[in-house]
Amino acid sequence: MTGEWLPACIYWSLTALARATPLLFACLGGLVSESSGVINFALEGMMLAGAFGAVWAAHAFGSPWWGLLGGAMAGMALGALHALACLSLRANQIVSSIALNLLAAGATGTLLNQVFQAYGTSPTVGRLPSVGEYVRGGFPGEAAWGVRVLDALPLPALLAVGCTLVVLFVFQKMALGLVIRACGEDPDGARACGIEVARVRFGAVLCSGLLAGLGGASLSIGALAQFVERMTQGRGYLAIAALILARWNPKGVLPATLLLGGAEALSDWLAVAWPRLPHQGLLAVPYGMCLLVLAVHVGRRRAPSALGRL
Amino acid sequence: MHDRPEIRFCSVSKRFGSLWANREISFDVHRAEIHAIVGENGAGKSTLMKLLCGHFLPDEGFIALRGRESRFRSPRQAAEAGLGLVSQQPHTFPQLTALENVLAGHPPGLFRLLRPAAARTRVEALCSRFGFELPLDQRAGELAFAHRQQIQLLRVLYRDASVLVLDEPTSLLAPPEAERLLDLLRGLRFKDHTVLFVSHRLSEVLSLADRVSVLSKGRCVGTYATADVTRERIARLIAEDGGAVGSPPADRAANELGGAHAARLSISHAPVVEEEDRAMRGPAPNNRQLVSLAAGAGTSSCPHERSVGSRGTRIALSLDGVRSEVSTDESPLDRVSLELVEGESFGVGGVVGNGQRSLARVVSGLEAAVEGGIHLAGEDVTRMSLRDRRLRGLRWLPANLTDEGMLPAASLLDNCLLGLQREMRFQRYGWLRSKPVFRWASAMLSAGDVRYPALGYPASSLSGGNLQKLGLCRALEGKPRVVLLEQPSRGLDLLAQKQLRSRVHELRAQGVSFLVISHDLEELFELCDRIGVLFRGALMGVQNTNQARRETLVRWMLGGP
């Protein structure tokens, strides 16, 4: 039995990572923005914009790689709106976030109709290759078992892990990370220390939009090959839950999102293994898991001290 | 010798609304000089320092740095020009470690790599050179006030700023620490640094500074070499324009009380300063009477560890073998016992972090005692909440007002009312009665000489000294029985300190007891009948003020027998 058990385990963890990919991107985005002291509840809207932008660009330029770029740009555009509203116009950060979420939901639906003359779902576009496919593209011929397993891993997952490492590096090793956190801890103090708080925060929110947009793209052209209206299904909010779970600690983001992604993979598996279990109950598994962990999890680190304060 | 001044203020003016914070201020600061700036609360000292360091631009006039006009649009530009400000309220990032806090203050190239190991070595070297005992890996939010101030100072030193601007750096430091800081500044002057510092302590100013500029009501009254000017002269200049001081404090003759604690720290000051010091330190005559009256019973007995119960008066507050929770930044109390009779004032001194904060938190009720009992006028209050203790007449002025005693963003009115909102005179059926509250608050603030724009303004619009006055007003309001004062004269000018002293003595005559916690020995000598010293959470000993010797107290502070 062990011969089957090991591949199943690997397969399951790869599925968990694939499921966690959009969450991981969005959670990183939330981390960057909130560490600098700007609340970002607009992750949901940014993901949705990213998902649509990716399909649009992939359709227009005929390549999923352009789609990835388009998704990032669309998320960043929403990030720019959020930064403009919160930092330049000093709007309430939560209100701005909600407005952007509503805007993204409405605008993607309208644009879907205008651009593709379609309701609900867009036509199919090119999909990003999985890691397995990508590797096989370079070495034609019979693939080894290890490469075939990697078919389960979409390319954006690798990109997401890479981004995590970059963010980790920035927060742990670079002056930039310290400066971002200083802005989130005490903006007046940071200003007095010679940090240009407004600029740092603007950059952080833009970067946050970019990451969340990539998250959306990984849904629409990574997991699927089309845009479905409201396809993010609250993953932006789940990413915020993951951020709280990680206690705003860059090191915690990957485990937290893997946990939630794992719960999603588990609910998929349960749906296949026990088809008679109620479907709705299974869908709630990640959310239930999230509540459970938040309830028992205690730590020293808390939200940035000046979160939401200008 | 000095052909070109390092900093030149040229008729600098700054207005906030209708109030001129600085009005046509002109003076020069030379290179490698320690230049002190003195003046009463609200005289515009902090504003001037912030103008210099790029927090805002002057409305009129200009500031020239090394012969060139400096128009810093941000603190960053000022920092790049070699200016470093250590502000009165320490700005630290609560969730970053002390080390990270120091590094964040170093205007960094954003994409530069941090080199934690190298940075740590450098910061540790600075710490050991200046005798700071800063736990570098602790989060700043958990550090004591003095440590946070050290962080600010380290930021400036780490950056190697050539001009250091310090806004009341010693106001919360115990004598040994303050002396160390002053030594540090003297050392920096020899290394060609220029130091500008704001202080209320004239003895410090005269012993440290080369020259002193006096501000009054936003104007510069004059700049003097400290060698040519006496302490009385400066005190008179400070008060002159304010007009509120009837007679300069120097008129009070040196008395025996002054003489009793003229024994100074091992670091000797110029003899002339010492003499003036003594003249200044003498408290008001009525103060003297009270002190001898209250301490009269104990004069014949042993000077240390005297029992107070023999006085035959009612005990207002007693602590009986109190121990407190172990915390990260402060020694927990180690079986502290003390008794305060009605009308007595008991001072607690010690180096920062040796348990004064724990004592204040335990007595006020913010923290529960692990062991031992606290009695307030005979009633056991050990397990009582802060509010219940307050209802029984215990009042508290916290050390760090903006953290524990104020809502900086809320209006002055709300801040006056804080903690009193449930009293029947202010509310009926849960509705605030705005008119009585308004009348009461304005009366209280004007009686306390708080200068404020309007009651609707946020508390953060007040200067440090005025905020302290507001805190004092609130602590002494109504009918207190025991008042716990932590660092009461922090940020107060000479006049306000005098007012505080007379208010305290007035209340003591009515039977109110005071527990004064301060790092400043002078303050304790002036306000208290008896002085105890905490070291590592234990009460090392208690002395009567009129028999107290500074050397003994300082030795106790450092853990000596």
- Residue A78, burial from CB neighbour count under 10 angstroms (0-12, 13-18, 19+): buried
CB contact under 8 A, A179 and B109: no
Contact A9, A266 (CB under 8 A): no
**pLDDT of amino acid B218:** 84
Of B264, B262, B125, nearest to B182 by C-alpha is B264
pLDDT score, position A254:
94
For A113-158, what is each residue's pLDDT tens digit? Answer: 999 998 889 999 988 888 878 877 766 666 666 677 777 788 899 9
Low-confidence ranges of chain B (pLDDT < 50): 1, 242-312
Which residue(s) pair with B38 in the sheet? Answer: B214
Contacts of B107 in chain A (CB under 8 A): 193-195
Task: Write out the E strands in B290-435.
Answer: 315-324, 336-341, 345-349, 369-376, 379-380, 394-397, 427-428, 431-432
CA-CA distance, B334 to B203, in Å (whole number)? 34
Q: Report helix, strand or coil for B266.
A: coil
In CATH, the architecture of A17-296 is: Orthogonal Bundle (1.10)
Question: Tens digit of pLDDT for each residue in B39-85?
Answer: 877 788 888 988 898 888 889 888 998 888 888 888 888 888 888 88
Question: In Å, how far is A26's CA from the nearest CA of chain B?
Answer: 23
Tell which residue, A221, A214, A222, A220, has the closest CA to residue A239.
Answer: A214
Distances in Å between the Cα of B509 and the Cα atoms of A187, B290, B513 are: 47, 8, 9
* CB neighbours of residue B191 within 10 Å: 9
pLDDT of residue B207: 86
SS3 B419: coil
For residue B263, the model assigns a pLDDT of: 34
Q: What is the pLDDT of residue B293?
A: 34
* Structure tokens given for B70: 């400096």
> Nearest CA of chain A to the CA of B259: how many Å?
43
Place of tokens 């000489």: B449
Got the DSSP string for B464-487?
Answer: HHHHHHHHHHHHHSS--SEEEEES
Cβ A305–B85 below 8 Å, yes or no? Answer: no
Residue A216 to residue A56: CA distance in whole angstroms: 12
Output DSSP code: residue A232: T
Note the pLDDT of residue B107: 58
If you measure CA to CA, which chain B residue comes closest to A181? Answer: B96
Question: What value of ipTM does the predicted structure carry?
Answer: 0.84
pLDDT at B363: 93
Type of residue numbered B208: L
Tokens representing B272? 């002339």
For B96, phi and psi rounded to 5 degrees? -95, 150
Q: What is the structure's pLDDT at A236?
A: 93
CA distance B560 to B470: 38
If one compares B149 and A250, the residue with the highest pLDDT of the two is: A250
Rounded to 10°, the helix A235-245/A2-35 angle is 90
Q: Mark yes or no for CB contact A189/B93 under 8 Å.
A: yes
- Inter-chain contact A186–B100, Cβ cutoff 8 Å? no
Query: Quick check: A179 and B104 CB within 8 A?
Result: yes
Structure token digits, residue B129: 């050179």
For A220, the token pair is 């629409």
pLDDT averaged over every residue in chain B: 79
Residue A48 has what pLDDT?
96
Binary contact (B109, A175; C-beta < 8 A): yes
pLDDT at B16: 80
Higher pLDDT, A243 or B244: A243
Query: How confident is the model over A26-54, as a mean pLDDT?
Result: 96
- All residues at 6 or more sequence positions from A27 whose CB lies less than 8 Å from its CB, including other chains: A239, A240, A242, A243, A246, A253, A256, A257
Q: Does A187 score more than 80 pLDDT?
A: yes
Cα angle B27, B32, B34; round to 5: 60
Chain A residues contacting B via beta carbons under 8 Å: 173-176, 178-179, 181-182, 185-186, 188-196, 200, 301-302, 304-305
Domains of chain B: 7-226 (3.40.50.300), 242-294 (no CATH), 303-393+479-557 (3.40.50.300), 407-478 (no CATH)
The percentage of residues in chain A with a pLDDT greater than 70, rounded to a whole number, is 94
Residues B110, A179: C-beta atoms closer than 8 Å: yes
Distance (Å, whole) CA A198 – CA A101? 23
Structure tokens of A45? 């809207």
Q: How many CB atoms lie within 10 A of CB B75?
A: 24
Alpha carbon of residue B500 to chain centroid = 14
Neighbours of A29 (CB within 10 A): 34
pLDDT reported for residue A86: 94
- Closest residue in A to B159 (Cα) is A193
* pTM of the predicted structure, to 2 decimals: 0.74
Tokens of A199: 């600029």
pLDDT at B521: 83
Classify B27 as helix, strand or coil: strand
